[in-house]
Amino acid sequence: MHLVVGLGNPGACYRETRHNVGVLLIDVLAERWRVVLSATNALAEWGVGRVGTTPVVLAKPRTFMNASGDAVAALCGAHAPESIVVVSDDLDLALGRVRIRGTGGAGGHRGVASVIAAIGDAFVRVRIGIGRPPLGAESVEFVLEPFTADERKALGGALARAADAVETLVRDGLEAAMRVGNGAPKT
């Protein structure tokens, strides 16, 4: 069974922000796999479904980004580390890029750092590029802003590729998922 967790901030005011691309991917996967996120507790909401014959749990933390590790730790239970997939935004990837890795560091992302502190670093990372803020803009403010209308098209393509890659990961493993997700977006 795989656990796929999309990082973000709770609340309607953060719903469409750059920092919430992990949550947005969970919405895409839930629709694709017909998973209803009906189970809840103070730390997360989640639902169980299947990709082919493989059971999968989709989850969204109810914690703020910097405390994501609390939610992931509460959700991971008996999941093997390599079956845990954490989806997050990435300032260092161009808008529309997707990067999948089996292990690694936090890359300056406080939500991923919180997950590493809580469960270790042996989980799969799906990073979705949001690009760098404009010259003179603060990163903290940039990630909490909604995508512009022009950015939404690139975001849609990235979410579709990331969803394809996660589905491939569940069915065929990490190497196959990396071939689907990593690389330049198709124009």
As annotated, the active-site residues are 19
Comparing C-alpha atoms, which of 176, 166, 172, 180 is closest to residue 56? 166
Phi, psi of 145 (to 5 degrees): -95, 150
Report the residue count for the chain. 187
CA distance 112 to 69: 8
Strands 54-61, 44-51: pairing kind: antiparallel
CA distance 16 to 164: 21
**Angle in degrees, CA 173, 157, 12, rounded to 5:** 100
